[in-house]
Structure 1
């Protein structure tokens, strides 16, 4: 007997019909999506905590739904990785900061870089199980406010040094290497050159600049920046990093993680940033009840894991798993978003999976925009939901510290 799972049925019936009769009660739909601009380290958004940025993204996503009101939100799940110093329950802070009722259930989620994407998966499961009908998924991060650590215990003679919370969080706990050094391991094993990575980074910056106005229009909700002694109150509504690039310096930069023979530099790696992203997710029941026009349907999702030092290639395992679950082939996918933690990450996965680069990150990525880790998985899912054309399929994938990866497939429904 032919084995057909619930995700593959639509694929088998051929051309998809976007009419209301094709809305299934237990499927999950992205109704609206929004994000803050991504700020550079200790720059435009430095005065905001992760939860404060999350509140702005949540409110923006609800407002863009036009029909969904705050009292209809039943649950909020927000990725947030660097939680030290943020205060209790950062997702709860974001939800209440956005003006949601105190009765809303909230969960703060940490799956390292995949946190924002995993929030969609868990919320979708709650919807598929019939536990809720409408919720918020997303992610938030403020690297600018990550504190320094002072280990608890008796102070030794001679004093003790502070530990940089940022560097500590970027260190693999198994190999005691920074994540960039682990990516260097992959680049070396796969013979990915410095020139290839620099060329890919330039592509990312050029595409971000080329598509900046469209990305700003579809994705970003401006952040009100309070006045200081030096600057007046103003709105910050554009991503910062891609405008700072100087291509003439690319070849002159020294490798960061392996000074002698390394290939990864500050130019061809993602940056340390601040930002938040969110989306309204709803069941088919809610879509019909409220007359909603979904941006996209969540077709399926999958996780995978490899040796922690090989985290860069974990999407190579999550993506085929997702395709097998859903019954789709690589050629069925119109757009791919593979998070640019490092240029080497994308290049490695494209080489292993033989994916056409012309379909990948075609409006730029984390190398040129930034990588606020709790946010990034949400950003790339939302990007597909907003930029695909009706009837097209998209896959977002992201690797995470510890050797993991998450992947999620969307079908675009309405603009």
Structure 2
């Protein structure tokens, strides 16, 4: 197997639902980072052999293979194909895996992995309207909303609401500090976009982090999924709009093109887990990817674990023996936002830049996914 390297990784700022990107089409939003990786590397787009895009709600502006549409909007040659995949919240992390597998096997040399979700213009579950679960599925498994699953996890692992709210507060504080210190400056492309009616949209930073939030404010929020529960809008991920793109190559191709490999994809895993208690998948996915890499949690310098709900990374950390000081050091989806199909790529972009900022070696990423699944990835920074 050949070394698979990342040579460029960029994301848009994440806008709040009904925020700055409300007037930007989903396919046009995705086209922006697709174009930016070409601008930054100066490669000929004809070198790209596929564009693999993660997107969950594939309806409306995200239907009809949004990956192909966005590549054409971005100005890629017609010979560059595009495909759109759905592995729920890990969709664009899976896009990275598929890209890496194509390159490692020798089938391709240059692939773009990307993700998009516009939760304002294409609301969550809009692709499920009028559709119910098959009785042949629901007879076997109790099919729940993820928020209810999160409540059950809280009960099983005996977490308190105070622990969840404290974690949520820390997510906001870390994200705010990261922006103040310029940690996101390189990974986030500023957006200036003129809508068809001539309205200029400008966004240079994530809209989600709340500088004025307090523990008291978080504790005062009503629970959403259970009257006497623990999950609130404050300790769950924010709905948001965003996109990200990653340019992967074989190490040999990168060197041939005169591009600096920034990290290599060291190991990948994907697992199925309990479809009812569906948010526990990152635990076995982490165990599996560490085994494949022949590494331990102590070897990892940074972890990016998606903050779908506060109990997910907290329980993950307890079960795998993680050092909380290494977890989501620049905040996570509770503060930054969770544009479903884009989050896998967003976490990867952030993790790579954090390893570079701190001159560290190994990063581990994991995301829980609907129906009980999870992806995990280990990358190694290249000096």
- TM-score w.r.t. structure 1 length? 0.85
3-state secondary structure, aligned to 1:212? helix
* Structure 2 Cα separation of the partners of residues 124 and 250 of structure 1: 40
* Structure 1 Cα separation of the partners of residues 130 and 167 of structure 2: 30
Q: Do the aligned residues in 2 keep the contact of 1:398 with 1:407 (CA within 8 Å)?
A: yes
* Structure 2 Cα separation of the partners of residues 323 and 147 of structure 1: 35
* 1:264 maps to which of 231, 236, 241: 231
- 1:258-283 deviation digits (Å, cap 9, x = unpaired): 02x21000000001111001111011
* 1:369 maps to which of 336, 343, 350: 336
User: Which residue number corresponds to residue 344 of structure 1?
Assistant: 311
Give the 3 Å change call, closer, same or farther, for CA 149–33 of structure 1 in structure 2: closer
> Does residue 103 of structure 2 align to residue 127 of structure 1?
yes
Residue pairs, 1:212-361, within 5 angstroms: 212-213=179-180, 214-226=182-194, 233-243=200-210, 246-247=213-214, 248-259=216-227, 261-361=228-328
User: Which residue number corresponds to residue 97 of structure 1?
Assistant: 73
3-state secondary structure, aligned to 1:145? coil
User: Which residue number corresponds to residue 183 of structure 1?
Assistant: 150
Structure 1 residue 212, shift from structure 2 partner = 1.1
User: Which residue number corresponds to residue 44 of structure 1?
Assistant: 20
Structure 1 residue 94, shift from structure 2 partner = 1.2
* Structure 1 Cα separation of the partners of residues 276 and 294 of structure 2: 30
Q: Do the aligned residues in 1 keep the contact of 2:301 with 2:360 (CA within 8 Å)?
A: no
3-state secondary structure, aligned to 1:328? coil
Structure 1 residue 408, shift from structure 2 partner = 0.5
3-state secondary structure, aligned to 2:184? helix
The aligned length equals 373
Give the 3 Å change call, closer, same or farther, for CA 132–330 of structure 1 in structure 2: same
Deviates more, 1:96-105 or 1:111-120: 96-105
User: Which residue number corresponds to residue 157 of structure 1?
Assistant: none
Deviates more, 1:117-126 or 1:382-391: 382-391
Give the 3 Å change call, closer, same or farther, for CA 391–149 of structure 1 in structure 2: closer
3-state secondary structure, aligned to 1:242? coil
Give the 3 Å change call, closer, same or farther, for CA 132–221 of structure 1 in structure 2: same
* Structure 1 Cα separation of the partners of residues 126 and 39 of structure 2: 42
Q: Do the aligned residues in 1 keep the contact of 2:143 with 2:275 (CA within 8 Å)?
A: no
> Does residue 13 of structure 2 align to residue 28 of structure 1?
no
Give the 3 Å change call, closer, same or farther, for CA 227–301 of structure 1 in structure 2: closer
User: Which residue number corresponds to residue 83 of structure 1?
Assistant: 58
Residue pairs, 1:401-412, within 5 angstroms: 401-412=370-381
RMSD (Å), alpha carbons: 2.4
Structure 1 residue 208, shift from structure 2 partner = 0.2
- 1:299-323 deviation digits (Å, cap 9, x = unpaired): 0100112111222211100011001
Give the 3 Å change call, closer, same or farther, for CA 384–216 of structure 1 in structure 2: closer
* Structure 2 Cα separation of the partners of residues 383 and 60 of structure 1: 16
Deviates more, 1:186-195 or 1:86-95: 86-95
Structure 2 unaligned blocks of 5 or more: none
Q: Do the aligned residues in 2 keep the contact of 1:92 with 1:107 (CA within 8 Å)?
A: yes
* Structure 2 Cα separation of the partners of residues 228 and 250 of structure 1: 39
* Structure 2 Cα separation of the partners of residues 372 and 188 of structure 1: 27
* Structure 2 Cα separation of the partners of residues 182 and 343 of structure 1: 12
> Does residue 373 of structure 2 align to residue 398 of structure 1?
no
User: Which residue number corresponds to residue 23 of structure 1?
Assistant: none
- 1:362-381 deviation digits (Å, cap 9, x = unpaired): 11000001100100011111
* 1:74 maps to which of 49, 60, 65: 49
* Structure 1 Cα separation of the partners of residues 213 and 130 of structure 2: 28
Structure 1 residue 47, shift from structure 2 partner = 1.8
Give the 3 Å change call, closer, same or farther, for CA 232–84 of structure 1 in structure 2: closer
- TM-score w.r.t. structure 2 length? 0.92
3-state secondary structure, aligned to 2:175? helix
Structure 1 unaligned blocks of 5 or more: 1-5, 7-25, 152-161
* Structure 1 Cα separation of the partners of residues 272 and 203 of structure 2: 38
Q: Do the aligned residues in 1 keep the contact of 2:15 with 2:206 (CA within 8 Å)?
A: yes
3-state secondary structure, aligned to 1:351? helix
